Amino acid sequence: MSLDKVALAQRFMALEESKQAIFLQKLGEKGIPFERLPIVSGHRPARLPLAPAQQRLWTIYQLEPDNTAYHLTTAFSLSGPLEVARLLRSLEAVVQRHESLRTGFRDHDGDAEQIIQSARLPVEQRDVRSLDQAARQTLADEHARRRFVLERDLPLRVQLLQEGEQQWRLQLVMHHLVSDGWSMEVFFTDLGRAYLSDAPLPPLAVQYADYALWQKAWLDAGERERQLTYWREQLRLDQGDSVQPPLLIPYDRHPQHNDLRQAASEQWLLPQTLQGPLQALARDNDTTLFTVVLAAWQWALASVSGRRDIPVGVPMANRGRSEVEALVGFFVNTLVVRGQPSAAMTVDQWVQQVHQTMLDAQAHQALPFDQLVASLAPRREPGETPLFQVLFNYQRRDGGRRQLDNEVTIAPQAQGVPHALFDLALDVHEASDGALALTLTYAADRFHSDTARRLQHAMEQVLAAFAGDRQRCLGTVDTATQDLPRLQQWGEGEGAYVAQSFPSLFSQQAALRG
């Protein structure tokens, strides 16, 4: 007789929490690991808890309700004979398909819970044909910055501005509690299907709330402790350690404890002449361009800081389960990747070491970052990100333009928010042809622009070196800043680059940013 995993999973999820532990013990005695059971819908408790990964964001929202760094904002230009009524119906269809987009949050006796609502999506529509570009941008900025009241509002808001006879600007703002970069691709896939057909979107087999219940049960079943054991060893933490690493890049200005980070950025394109050699470096080391660029970033940080212990936060999609691939929700998780390069290592050796470090970290990516922080309890200054200061976010992106239908073209537009999540974050976008666009976002209230440009220059030098002699030692890579005018050859650093894919635009402020 074959094992009915769905029935087992449904039976387990219907049990009280105290009885779930007994069930899991018996399951283990039969040699059936819990993770082999599917995520199922069905029984839900009277109060829906937040997913473990959502807990920290909820706490931050309560402490910093005006922090726009947790607003995932993206905007698009729509050109052609758009059927506005059809678009509005399509937006509503996507919201009705995904419970996460209709979820409110509240505290109940000290515990946060999700409230699935039946509310319809309000869309802010304006005819702005009589307004100049500055006035239009003011409307978009206000829409992006507007505070979410998650106890009352939907976690998604939409703005549709008509700019011409056949020209519109569509802007979406989601709170990070219910979405991530991957989710934006899911959203627009569903939006396109709904726009092209009058048939309703098919219901989802499971919803984000089902995943939240499953993840909590899986972690409680022993996975939390197993993964914590790995991370304690990886971070080599003793009981008496302070845990929190010192700042990699010291502040130029000392921030006030209650200050939100004010975002600024430097942007540039990797020269085409380096693309092929860097891809060959990845291929010959049986790894990816992601790993090569991460290795370059960690050595650039080591060169500028003078340190040889380089912890970097790396967001991962955390969508290893097929049941959650088509869901809108907050799945992204941040891994602390601790690099320990030495000047005597060759480029090849360092890339291979980072490759193995990433493989090990990815095998332990299910532990939510906030639970790692809660367990390690790092002693840090107010405003410091726990366990790392610098983020590395790598995304592959598709082409810039798409067709909503045969006549309506949709293309991304730039739209930012004034706050940054981290002191320093390098976002790398890989196009389908291997071209790399890099954005270094920094907290302008903590760092001078010269510091950001110094880091940019160091990264340029390291990438150029990695594309050359792979047997050269890292310590021979010159990252001195005496030739900073060379920055002009690599894109001016003035923000001309615009990320072109739906997920990349949406998740520049989002991806696991813990």
Whether 18 maps to a domain, the answer reads yes
For the residues 427-441, what does the mean pLDDT come to?
90
Residue listed under structure tokens 């054991």: 229
pLDDT digits (tens, 9 = 90+) for 238-260: 444 556 888 899 999 988 766 68
Q: Check: CB of residue 409 under 8 Å from CB of residue 82.
A: no
Averaged pLDDT score across all residues of the chain: 87
When divided into structural domains, the chain yields a total of 1
For the residues 210-232, what does the mean pLDDT come to?
88
Distance (Å, whole) CA 483 – CA 440: 19
> What is residue 379's predicted lDDT score, i.e. its pLDDT?
81
Distance (Å, whole) CA 333 – CA 316: 5
Give the domain range for residue 9. 5-36
List Cα–Cα distances, 129 to 126, 163, 167, in angstroms: 9, 5, 10
pLDDT digits (tens, 9 = 90+) for 388-401: 999 999 988 665 66
Closest C-alpha to 98, from 9, 174, 199? 174
Distance (Å, whole) CA 251 – CA 268: 23
pLDDT digits (tens, 9 = 90+) for 354-409: 999 999 999 999 899 989 988 888 888 777 888 999 999 998 866 566 788 899 99
> What is residue 412's predicted lDDT score, i.e. its pLDDT?
87
Distance (Å, whole) CA 63 – CA 55: 13
pLDDT digits (tens, 9 = 90+) for 446-503: 999 999 999 999 999 999 999 999 999 999 999 876 544 444 444 444 333 333 334 4
Whether 32 maps to a domain, the answer reads yes
Whether 239 maps to a domain, the answer reads no
The pTM of this model reads: 0.86
The alpha helices in 235-368, defined as continuous H runs, are 272-284, 289-305, 347-362
pLDDT digits (tens, 9 = 90+) for 137-174: 999 999 999 999 999 999 999 999 999 999 999 999 99
Task: Specify the pairing of strand 436-443 against strand 424-430.
Answer: antiparallel
Whether 13 maps to a domain, the answer reads yes
Distance (Å, whole) CA 301 – CA 358: 18
Whether 454 maps to a domain, the answer reads no
Whether 283 maps to a domain, the answer reads no
Whether 11 maps to a domain, the answer reads yes
Distance (Å, whole) CA 326 – CA 349: 38
Whether 471 maps to a domain, the answer reads no
Distance (Å, whole) CA 395 – CA 426: 11
